Structure 1
Amino acid sequence: MVFGVPLLFVLSSDTTVYESGVLGDSMKITTRGTGDPEVAVVGAVHGDEPCGARAIERLLASDLKFERPTKFVVVNEEALERGVRFVDVDLNQVLPGDPNADEHERRLAAQLVQEVEGCFALGIHSTHSFNEPFGVLSNPTDRKRKVFRRMAVDQVVDTTGLSEGRCVDQPRFVDVEVGPQGTEKAVEQAEHCVRSFLATVGAIPGSARPTPTDYYEVTEIEEKQLGSEYEFLARNFSKVEAGETYARRDGEELVADESFWPVLASAGGHDTILGYRAQLVGEL
């Protein structure tokens, strides 16, 4: 490797590995179909969520026939190999990144933005908080809504304005969350969601009919207190009524001051966040 010089290594006619020139920076990019990619599938933004990378491996090993050129990206190979969420910083908080940054994930974020430019992209994530797949988007468009209505998800969460620097903050990017994190079930869900996404956007043969999909808007992040122990008592996507105890912090009951629907909420899923409060808007 030549340090300080970005390189693309061609592994085969359809697979390349990007290396920034800094030891450990590596991103595997595989294309299928003829022409410049118009669709992208992105896995391993977080290294402790291997389901996306495993689902991509299975799909690439299958006999799928592609009708639109599609790009598959395994983003953070170093974190994936280590089994950690990130090496230096959370990649899903630092987009569009900086190719000259000191942090590993900022450099990868810059390359990821470049790789998915011009593509409609699906990112694959996993969670401890819920055992069925659901969608995540920001700044909804008609196309994003249409895709999720036809994908294999029953709920979609709108996180517009929640934070900056995430994949879904990119203009043509949506995410799917599967679970439980670290399980074979998550890999199977991820593969099923990717197949339904690819059929929906016309990248592979198959019909994708609209199905009822509940639409939630996140209104608040529930932060954890440093050093406290938590127990989450409610159920994600089930309404918590005002006055209802939904969690405990160091044994003390946390009571809802107003009704909300918990999303991505769990005691141990995140070091600093208990979860998100959302409102059910209606059908997507």
Structure 2
Amino acid sequence: MRVAQLGSGTPEIAVVAGVHGDEPCGVRAVKRLLDERPTVERPVKLVVVNEAALERQVRFVDEDLNRAFPGDSHAKTHEGRLAHELIEELEGCLSFSMHSTQSHAEPFAIVNELSETATELVPQLPVATMVETSNFAEGRLFSEVDTIEVECGLQGTETAAQNADRLTRAFLTAVGALPGDTVARDLPVYRLTDVIRKERADTYEVFVENFAEVEPGDPFAAADGDTQVAQEPFYPVLMSPNGYRNVFGYAAEKVDVLTPSPAAD
């Protein structure tokens, strides 16, 4: 794990990249900040986490780090020990953690709950939607540390790297670390309601788009040609044929649209 800092003093803000070794977009955003060394109005901690997985260009070495928290200093797995170390490093910080996905090109945010921090900051980020994990946060970083996660775009793409840089600077502006203003926007909010599992198969297909409502009776996925049909309406989230080993993705409900307060006269 590599840790650096912008500004002097004790940071209460952290930017986290490289939780997964096959998602380099956030690492590039952190590197650019370190190369430019912008003047900050609040100190910022910068963390590149899973260096071993990044070097191998794999998601993880022993287990998924973002399912391994809180971890243990004596864990048998590399990620189990790393999870414990990262939590100690991020103590007292609001963290901004960057990821990428195989399922959706447009950036969106993921939070543990619709906290005051999330509802204040996320609409100021250049994201299309916000997803609350509800009962599906076990083992993730934000189950232990106050964290806003962002999916920056499609894994391995130049666009995801550019989005990561843009998202990071918007976050740092929103929390007052970088000077300037942000633009708040209407933001749809979804809550995960179920896991969409998939059986072991040679081929997988997904027939729906993420965040587009699926109606009862609509086919939404197939494993070796065996089609799954919706029994009730839902919104797909992180749905892709091969993004996860045992699941297609998640079902969600749309719970709100956050609207910026009108500016004072």
- State the match for 2:213 in structure 1: 239
- Larger relative contact order (Cα-Cα within 8 Å, sequence gap ≥ 6): 2
Unpaired segments ≥5 residues, structure 1: 1-26
Per the TM alignment, residue 136 of structure 1 is displaced from its structure 2 partner at its CA by 0.1
**Cα distance per residue 1:140-186 (max 9 Å; x no partner):** 21011111011111200000211411012124111000211011111
**Cα distance per residue 1:193-230 (max 9 Å; x no partner):** 10100000111111113211110000001111123521
User: In structure 2, what is the Cα distance between the partners aligned to 1:181 and 1:171?
Assistant: 24
1:185-264 to structure 2, matched below 5 A, reads 185-264=159-238
SS in 2 for 1:97: coil
Question: What amino acid maps onto 2:66 in structure 1?
Answer: N
Question: What amino acid maps onto 1:93 in structure 2?
Answer: R
| Alignment check: 8 A CA contact 1:68 1:202 kept | yes
Partner of residue 46 from structure 1, selected from 8, 13, 20: 20
User: In structure 1, what is the Cα distance between the partners aligned to 2:242 and 2:51?
Assistant: 24
| Alignment check: 8 A CA contact 1:167 1:174 kept | no
- State the match for 2:255 in structure 1: 281
1:1-284 to structure 2, matched below 5 A, reads 27-284=1-258
Question: What amino acid maps onto 1:61 in structure 2?
Answer: D
Q: How many residues align?
A: 258
SS in 1 for 2:72: coil
User: In structure 1, what is the Cα distance between the partners aligned to 2:231 and 2:26?
Assistant: 37
Percent identity, please: 44
| Alignment check: 8 A CA contact 2:234 2:252 kept | yes
Question: What amino acid maps onto 2:177 in structure 1?
Answer: A
User: In structure 1, what is the Cα distance between the partners aligned to 2:244 and 2:224?
Assistant: 17
Question: What amino acid maps onto 1:276 in structure 2?
Answer: Y
User: In structure 2, what is the Cα distance between the partners aligned to 1:259 and 1:168?
Assistant: 28
State TM-score, norm by structure 2: 0.95
**Cα distance per residue 1:60-83 (max 9 Å; x no partner):** 212522110100100000000001
Unpaired segments ≥5 residues, structure 2: 259-265
**Cα distance per residue 1:90-142 (max 9 Å; x no partner):** 11111111111121001111111011110110100100100010000012210
User: In structure 2, what is the Cα distance between the partners aligned to 1:206 and 1:96?
Assistant: 35
State TM-score, norm by structure 1: 0.88
| Alignment check: 8 A CA contact 2:90 2:145 kept | no
User: In structure 2, what is the Cα distance between the partners aligned to 1:236 and 1:44?
Assistant: 24
SS in 1 for 2:163: helix
